[in-house]
Structure 1
Amino acid sequence: MRYLLLFIWLWFTAIGAASDEDITHCGPTNTALFAQLGEELAFRNQHEIPFPLDFQVNHGEWVDIPVEGEQPARAFWVKPEVASTKYLLVFHEWWGLNDYVLQESERLFEALGEKVNVLALDLYDGKVATKREEAAKFMKEAPESRIMAILSGAKAFAGEGATFGTIGWCYGGGWSLRATLAMGDAAEACVLYYGMPVSEVEELKKLEAPVLGIFAREDKWVNTEVVKQFESNMEAAGKELTVSNYEADHAFANPSSPRYTAVAAQDANKKSLAFLKQHFVYR
């Protein structure tokens, strides 16, 4: 495992390679390399099987997102009664778009005053894992080109003049940041929960929105060294980053996980909501 981690660390700390190209064309990305970790037994074992949730849809609905030249994508859409051009894009963990993420989408909708559209994107095209091996397989097999196409479809779905906030956890945390890059000047806020950040300074210079990073000090992969490097890279890029570190482990904010740490999760949630309200909802 140490050789794979060393390889990944070297890629994460490399700066400037293919800096003028699109993020899908600059070699292995943070999300691609993070997906490779699914091959490691220790990484898989860090993710306990989620507790089942008794979730009933209250506000949202399933919709198809047209994707140019490809099959439509699925999304769970929670929309306000009064039409809004603000869209919060929600990115699931490596398990897929499961009941926990649907529940979080509705909770975020309510917590943000039912003023914004919440759009939870399905990056696995309908596949949801209930076992670690399934999650690792789905994460590894999700083509980045397909996910980037889904992001383009989501932007078109929201319509001209739409603005975006993003939030994601674990695998989805990395995609939250990449989605903020993909949305360009339509992006207004990004919340990243213990996901592997983009490392290339030249890419980070393209950010048009502030970032809130929520991290766990006991996380063995998105660890304190990775977080410090991210802070350094964001400073070098001249971009706004707020970091909150917690004495907790990976997935501490997921109430369906045995690693759930209530005090840390509640504090992180409070900061996330305040950040989204300041930079996105009431901007």
Structure 2
Amino acid sequence: MVFLTNFLRQTFRIFNTMSKVTFDSTNAKGSCTGVLQGDVSQTKKGVIVLQEWWGMNEQIIKEAALIGSQGNFVTLVPDLYRGELATDNEEASHLMDNLDWKGAVADIQGAAKFLISKGCTKVGVTGFCMGGALSLAAAALVPEISAAAPFYGIPSKGLCDVGTITIPVQAHFGSTDDYIGFSSPADAKLLAEKQKHNKNFELFMYEGCGHAFTNPTGPLGNYNEDACTLALGRMGEFMNKHLA
């Protein structure tokens, strides 16, 4: 209850400046829409917030508002599924399996260019689950991205080599995440090994937390309020530092 009260207080100002936008993308599907929150006249720091496998639902839009309040960021949530939403695991799995991941990276680049065109001087990216994996892919493949904060997700080798990432990265994983090959502790350790050359790489493991521990509406039931608050606070400080 305390978290929800603080959440509403923190996001009220951001929601007052929320708007739906369309931006160019080299994705074969053409231009992409998204939800923009924040006021570019008040900040020059932009953060792209990437959806979980559910799609651009109400939860990720609220999450973006909360993220924006962590450091007075302008946030943009691109609709990577182009209007499609999942309500159960089967639908979500189908949508993610059929996603053109390279096309999604193109959408992220389009989102970054859009924020820059609106006055942001630096753009970061964060995301959760599928969005976490895509945020790392964007860190490797999108030159307009200045910092990345992935949550429990690592892209396939076929999409990108995370070892090539040179921009600041702050990664967040749960110590009991059992999504082996994607976000388990062993996968996080491998990411850290591939990023050992990057002096601006940080890895945070959250003890006793499973997959999707920042999602209060997730069906896995792994939400951990304390870990979520700590992780988003760390992410806000990280973005403030590297987008300044």
Residue in structure 1 matched with residue 67 of structure 2 by the alignment:
108
Work out which structure has the larger RCO, using CA pairs closer than 8 Å and 6 or more positions apart in sequence: 1
SS at match of 2:186: helix
The equivalences for 1:265-280 within 5 A come to: 265-280=228-243
Residue in structure 2 matched with residue 122 of structure 1 by the alignment:
79
Residue in structure 1 matched with residue 209 of structure 2 by the alignment:
248
- Between the aligned partners of 2:113 and 2:128, the Cα distance in structure 1 is 24
Pair 1:171–1:188, CA change in 2 (3 A) = same
Q: Percent identity?
A: 24
Residue in structure 1 matched with residue 94 of structure 2 by the alignment:
137
Look at both structures and tell me which one has the larger radius of gyration over its CA atoms: 1
Match of 2:154 among 191, 196, 199: 196
Pair 1:156–1:262, CA change in 2 (3 A) = closer
TM-superposed CA distance for 1:78, in Å, is 1.1
Pair 1:275–1:167, CA change in 2 (3 A) = same
Match of 1:210 among 160, 168, 175: 168
Give the TM-score normalised by structure 1: 0.71
- Between the aligned partners of 2:113 and 2:126, the Cα distance in structure 1 is 19
1:148 paired to 2:111: no
TM-superposed CA distance for 1:81, in Å, is 5.2
Contact 1:207/1:239 (8 A) holds in 2: no
- Between the aligned partners of 2:137 and 2:204, the Cα distance in structure 1 is 20
- Between the aligned partners of 1:82 and 1:171, the Cα distance in structure 2 is 31
- Between the aligned partners of 2:149 and 2:214, the Cα distance in structure 1 is 13
Cα deviations across residues 176-233 of structure 1 (Å, max 9, x unaligned)?
111122332x322211110125669x94454342111100111112112111111111
Give the TM-score normalised by structure 2: 0.82
- Structure 1: stretches of 5+ with no match in the other structure: 1-53
- Structure 2: stretches of 5+ with no match in the other structure: 1-7
TM-superposed CA distance for 1:70, in Å, is 4.0
